[in-house]
Chains A and B, each alone.
Chain A
């Protein structure tokens, strides 16, 4: 117990029981009556699609959200986790996907931020801090210069510092939220070795991951969430990847399916598109009247591809052709002039100016075209806004209404109206129905379908598998920046897409895929 750091071998253990946890955000039931038990000396995997409720559960354990219903018990004692500080005090530590460290402070300072050993007069005892930090890393069996600043350390090293930090507060429940997303294979191995060592010393570990192979490699048991509900908890020895995928998919949502439209000539061709660190060697094409779905898990590189197509980011390699001509966009306005429109993922951050009226938002991207003489005429503006918002049936008091006062679904319709006013040939939609209620969702699907029927080529990025399946003529699947499958509508099933999205190949040897699928 010297220097205020407990020896791992003598640490008390803690069992966490979550019973009947529910959490609702507005119209979304993020968690619905889920239960989960974290046992000392066990690594528990938590898997599920995007939006299955994994991160909500993590945030509840971390004290960031409070459950609407249900109880959390530690060693049988019911507790309330009111905030992150209390979670730490109770012995729960969370290592987030993106480490949250102070880059200008040293490794030791980061580990002991807020609870550094104090000397006489209540001042911080720096040499004790450094010694304690060094001891922690010894226990983790990794070498670290604890006096060096964090800035410049790799993501993997920063994650180890987060783990050391959780040990420094005697965490007995350790939650790892997508910790391997940005690690190399070797770094993943090192992390796993450390996590196993902690397990063997009695820490209860919750491992949240998209990567099913890692769940099998590391976890003793696994739980699957779907749509905020608990589907199954079982020992990983009794599961196959195919079982796990089957449990993850299978959501039933009523949808407006795509209307059959004749597919026309080639509009957009992408060949070998690469941006270092984000995606590599992406090739696909979009034709008139076609909806091409872009599926994949969060972080697979879908939005990054869209940003390059729209001229927001630069490409490092590859070619983009529009109507047969090679194009290269330095800015979004060049992409717009060429006939590409992009509806961004985050409509508040990037899509709308909330202080502006509907009419002002609709005409914002086309001001130079609409008013070549610099002067803006309000009547013209209103007429154009009226025309496009009428098409989409936006519920509003009038086009002079401030956009910030509309509901999410209606805001999304305004964003669509805005981009259509720019008369694009190719429309890229990034998560167009996220966070809007089911009624508005069906309407947005109808609009997308009509747009395709009117001859636009559409790229639909969505994490909502049933949506992608119902709307797309073809589905491209990305996994960690690479195209892992291209599935025509007729052959598309949720299992096929999910397999490709988790980096696996075909579940059934269909004959047209390369080998390597046999071992799953």
Chain B
């Protein structure tokens, strides 16, 4: 009698633990579900929400953030963080715009320079963190300021106007292929390639291992520092890509371009279900997180709320996502612990 009671208890604990695990793993699905529900509500008050032009505008802006968020996600999975992404984007954007204005390297050359610059800035972060052993949050707060300072110095009070860019340079921000905006295709491509790398390469496996259990990774002979360095480098490269997209999107670039975007990038990563303490999360989640934030920003405008709400809402969303994660993780641990004691 008591035996069967215990068996029932075990069963229910197990199913509850698994149910929570499913919710935790399916952050992507929950995000999509929330967006559909919210979208329905917004459409009721503002019918123009559900139009092709509005939705593609949301998607294009979200794609720009998503590209940077994918890089940020790589870093966060290793138990680090890169706060300098917005400065990298800004510096790359100004340099690319300025090169184009002066017809210095040609269009392809300017873009290549921008991507290379992003990679180098990412490598600088990686070196400071892995060689000089500065905690990432401090290191990248420092480089955030340094990269932005260089941006100010290079740009001075100069602003590259849209008209100085070559004809058609900003077209990718508006054009579509088969009805899908080019920016979205770029972001999709990066997410697909990145996800494949994480799923089926040694590097991907080691990236998660380093973030999940650094002590074990050390004993297993995983080259942790190389893995972390690579994550920062790729993050810089992708911030460079986002910087180039920024020029195409906005056209008019000065020394303060892309200021304040780091909050959106980190929020996208966290909302997308990447554990801020490392070790778990997906790139699809990070990209969907970016879409979710873009969606909220757009909904606010359409519903008639002030843009000034946006900053506060991003912060609130970060706190909600992180505390939800913490609660779910604790529940799962309790459920599995109960299951282990037989």
The verdict on B102 contacting chain A, using a C-beta distance below 8 Å, is no
Which of B52-60, B88-96, B148-156, B196-204 contacts its partner? B196-204
Contact in complex: A354, B213 (CB < 8 Å): yes
B341: Cβ under 8 A from any A Cβ: yes
**Residue with the greatest number of chain A CB neighbours at <10 A, chosen from B218, B222, B339:** B222
Question: Do B201 and A355 touch (CB < 8 A)?
Answer: no
Question: Which residues of chain B are within 8 angstroms of A516 by Cβ–Cβ distance?
Answer: none
Tell me, in angstroms, the Cα distance from A365 to B220 when the chains sit together. 5
Interface string of A21-42 (1 = CB under 8 A from B): 0000011000000000000000
Categorize the interface residue count of chain A: 35 or more
The answer to whether B205 touches A367, judged by C-beta atoms less than 8 angstroms apart, is yes
CA distance A309 to B219 in the complex (A): 12
- Given A355-B279, A377-B200, A408-B340, A350:B215 Cβ within 8 A: yes
Chain B residues near A364 (CB, 8 Å)? 205, 209, 220, 222
| A208 within 8 A of partner (CB) | no
- B280: CB under 8 A from chain A? yes
Whether, in the assembled complex, B229 has its beta carbon less than 8 Å from a beta carbon of chain A, the answer is no
Q: Are A374 and B202 in contact, with the CB atoms below 8 A?
A: yes
Chain A residues whose CB sits within 8 angstroms of the CB of B200 once the complex forms: 375-378
- In the assembly, what is the distance between CA of A351 and CA of B213, in Å? 9
Contact A353 B202 (CB under 8 A): no
B212 touches A374 (CB 8 A): no
Q: Given A354-B212, A355-B212, A355-B280, verify A332-B205 contact (CB < 8 Å).
A: no
- Judge if A405 is at the interface, Cβ distance under 8 Å: yes
Q: Contacts of B201 on A, CB cut-off 8 Å?
A: 374-376
**What sequence of 0s and 1s flags, for each residue 363-381 of chain A, a beta carbon within 8 Å of any chain B beta carbon?**
0110110010011111000
Residues of chain B within 8 A of A368, CB atoms compared: 202
Interface residues of B in 204-226 (CB under 8 A from A): 204-206, 208-209, 212-213, 215-223
* A-B CB pair tally, cutoff 8 Å: 79
* Shortest Cβ gap from B215 to chain A (Å): 5
**Number of residues on chain B facing chain A (CB within 8 A):** 27
Chain B residues contacting A406 (CB-CB under 8 Å) are 340
B336 within 8 A of A: yes
Contact residues of A between 354 and 396, Cβ < 8 Å to B = 354-356, 360, 364-365, 367-368, 371, 374-378
Closest chain B CB from A452 CB (angstroms): 23
Does A352 sit within 8 A of B, measured CB to CB? Answer: yes
**A407 on the B face (CB < 8 A):** yes
Q: Is the CB of B205 within 8 A of A26?
A: no
List the A side residues contacting B204 at CB < 8 Å: 376
Tell me the complex Cα distance, A354–B280, Å.
Answer: 11
Chain A min CB distance to B167 (Å): 42
Interface centre among B206, B212, B213 (most CB of A within 10 A): B213
B212:A356 contact, CB within 8 angstroms: yes
Chain A hits for B336, CB < 8 A: 404-405
- CB within 8 Å for A371 and B280 given contacts A350-B216, A354-B212, A355-B212: no
Docked-complex contact B218 and A312, CB < 8 angstroms: yes
Closest to B203 in A: A374
Which of A353, A367, A368 has the most chain B CB within a 10 Å cutoff? A353
**Nearest-neighbor residue (CB-CB) of B223 within chain A:** A333
Cα distance A376–B207 in the bound complex, in angstroms: 13
Measured between beta carbons, the chain A residues less than 8 angstroms from B223 are: 333
Partner of B205, one of A310, A336, A350, A360: A360
The interface centre, meaning the residue of B200, B202, B222, B339 with most chain A CB atoms within 10 A of its CB, is B202
Give complex CA distance A340, B181 in Å.
55
Q: Which of A342, A352, A367 contacts B213 (CB 8 A)?
A: A352
Name the one of A332, A335, A360 contacting B218, with C-beta atoms under 8 angstroms. Answer: A332
Q: Mark A218-256, 1 if CB is under 8 A from B, else 0.
A: 000000000000000000000000000000000000000
B342 to chain A, nearest CB (A): 7
Residues A407 and B279 in contact, CB atoms below 8 Å apart: no
Cα distance, A332 to B208, chains bound together (Å):
19
Residue A179, interface by CB 8 Å = no
* Apart from A350-B215, A355-B280: 11 A-B pairs, beta carbons within 8 A: A331-B221, A333-B223, A342-B219, A353-B213, A353-B279, A364-B220, A365-B220, A374-B203, A376-B200, A376-B205, A404-B336
Q: Which residues from chain A sit less than 8 Å from chain B, CB to CB?
A: 26-27, 310, 312, 331-336, 342, 344, 349-356, 360, 364-365, 367-368, 371, 374-378, 404-408
6 smallest CB-CB distances across A and B, nearest first, come from: A333-B221, A332-B221, A365-B220, A367-B202, A350-B215, A353-B213
B residues with a Cβ closer than 8 A to A are: 200-206, 208-209, 212-213, 215-223, 279-280, 336, 339-342
- A–B pairs, 11, beta carbons within 8 Å: A312-B219, A349-B216, A353-B213, A356-B209, A364-B222, A367-B205, A375-B200, A376-B204, A378-B200, A407-B340, A408-B340
